[in-house]
Homo-oligomer: A and B are copies of this chain.
Amino acid sequence: MFALSVVGHPSPMSFSHKMAERAVRTLREHGVEVSHHDLYAEGFEPVRGGDALVARHRAELAAADLLLVFHPNWWSMPPAMVKGWIDRTFVPEVAYRDAPIGDPPIGLLKARGLVFNTGDTPPEREREVFGDPMQRIWEVGVFGFCGMGPITRRMYAPVTSSSAAQREAWLGEVTLLVAEASR
Contact = CB atoms under 8 A, between A and B. Distances in A.
Interface in A109-136: 125, 129-131, 133, 136
A79 B47 CA distance: 9
Contact of A140 (B90, B130, B141, B145): B130
B125 A76 contact: no
B137 A77 contact: yes
A140 B129 contact: yes
A148 interface: no
The oligomer's copy count stands at 2
A6 interface: no
B79 A87 contact: yes
A106 interface: no
A49 interface: no
A81 B47 contact: yes
Contact of A87 (B80, B125, B137, B141): B80
Nearest to A87: B80
A51 to B, nearest CB: 15
Contacts of A161: 101
A142 interface: yes
3 tightest CB-CB pairs across the interface, nearest first? A80-B84, A76-B141, A133-B133
Interface of A: 40, 46-47, 74-81, 83-84, 86-87, 90, 101, 104, 125, 129-131, 133, 136-137, 140-142, 145, 158, 160-161
23 contacts: A46-B80, A47-B81, A74-B87, A76-B136, A76-B137, A76-B140, A77-B77, A80-B80, A80-B86, A83-B84, A84-B84, A101-B158, A101-B160, A101-B161, A130-B136, A130-B140, A130-B141, A131-B133, A131-B140, A133-B133, A133-B136, A133-B137, A133-B141
